[in-house]
């Protein structure tokens, strides 16, 4: 076929996989952004409403849609009892999609998104202690959700401990947002106040973590500059007798 050779070269080119990754993420983002949650309550039959929401939740997390907004929507639409398991299921499914996408496209496609020493440290940590590392990273506020997904795809962690650590690790934060959404109609209720307090606490912990990270980076840069200046300093001439 006349187009077989050019197509083969295009697929094997260095930019093909990153472009494919961007196309997939853009398609997921379009599906999530064009989705109106009210459609579930009007156009989707009741028996399919929950599965449809879980699928859209997963696509939303894959497309970098803020997970707290999706969790609040789960609480508004389904309440706490049904919304929480749906949100955890959608979150875990979205993480699985990102993990499989990263494993399928490979390191070359994901390298532009994850750079530097942080990727090396994340790779080593996830490879050596898969479930424990994923669980701790999910529990720590402020750690980008999608960065963990793609970083895990580049590491040696297996799918089962990755999904187990994700499902357990996102449970506390997801619960706070789902409860906030479910009780938003009663802003003075104990459930809403407790959920709001938990969200504020997570936000403060995230800011503290960002501050510590920037301070550590600034200290490392200062140390590196000092070492470089010391190495480049002229060596004094030896005294002559």
Query: Where exactly are the structural domains of the chain?
Result: 11-225
Sign, CA dihedral 229-230-232-237, equals positive
Q: How confident is the model at residue 241 (pLDDT cuts 50, 70, 90)?
A: very low
Give the pLDDT confidence score for residue 65 in this predicted structure: 80
Whether the per-residue pLDDT at 88 is higher than 50: the answer is: yes
Q: Which residue has the tokens 């939740």?
A: 57
User: Which of 100, 195, 191 has the alpha carbon at shortest distance from 154?
Assistant: 100
Return d(Cα 94, Cα 25) in angstroms, integer.
12
Give the pLDDT confidence score for residue 205 in this predicted structure: 77
Give the pLDDT confidence score for residue 123 in this predicted structure: 67
- Per DSSP, the residues of 124-184 read HHHHHSHHHHHHHHHHSTTS-HHHHHHHHHHSS--HHHHHHHHHHHTHHHHHHHHHHHHTT
Residue environment code for 206-240, b if the CB has 16+ CB neighbours within 10 A, otherwise e: eeeeeeeeeeeeeeeeeeeeeeeeeeeeeeeeeee
Q: pLDDT tens for residues 90-115?
A: 999 999 998 988 887 766 666 655 55
Whether the per-residue pLDDT at 33 is higher than 60: the answer is: no
Q: What are phi and psi of 232, to 5 degrees?
A: -90, -5
Q: pLDDT tens for residues 119-169?
A: 566 667 777 777 888 888 888 877 788 878 877 887 878 899 999 999 999
Contacts of 21 by beta carbon, 8 Å cutoff, 6+ apart: 101, 105, 109, 110
Whether the per-residue pLDDT at 36 is higher than 70: the answer is: no
Task: Report yes or no on whether pTM surpasses 0.85.
Answer: no
């Amino acid at each position: 076929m006349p187009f077989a050779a050019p197509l083969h070269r295009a697929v094997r080119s260095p930019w093909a996989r990153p472009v494919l990754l961007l196309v997939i993420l853009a398609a997921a983002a379009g599906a999530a952004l064009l989705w109106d949650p009210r459609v579930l309550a009007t156009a989707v039959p009741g028996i399919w409403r929950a599965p449809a929401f879980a699928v859209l939740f997963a696509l939303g997390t894959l497309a970098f849609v803020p997970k707290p907004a999706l969790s609040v929507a789960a609480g508004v639409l389904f309440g706490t009892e049904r919304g929480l398991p749906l949100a955890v299921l959608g979150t875990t499914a979205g993480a699985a999609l990102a993990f499989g996408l990263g494993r399928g496209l490979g390191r070359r496609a994901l390298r532009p998104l994850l750079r530097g020493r942080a990727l090396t440290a994340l790779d080593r940590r996830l490879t050596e202690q898969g479930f424990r590392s994923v669980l701790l990273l999910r529990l720590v506020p402020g750690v980008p959700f999608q960065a963990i997904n793609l970083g895990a795809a580049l590491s040696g962690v297996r799918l089962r401990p990755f999904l187990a650590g994700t499902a357990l690790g996102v449970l506390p934060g997801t619960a706070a947002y789902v409860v906030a959404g479910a009780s938003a109609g009663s802003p003075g209720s104990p459930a809403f106040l407790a959920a709001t307090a938990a969200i504020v606490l997570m936000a403060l912990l995230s800011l503290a973590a960002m501050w510590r990270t920037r301070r550590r980076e600034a200290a490392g840069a200062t140390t590196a500059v000092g070492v470089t200046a010391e190495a480049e300093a002229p060596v004094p001439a030896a005294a002559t007798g």
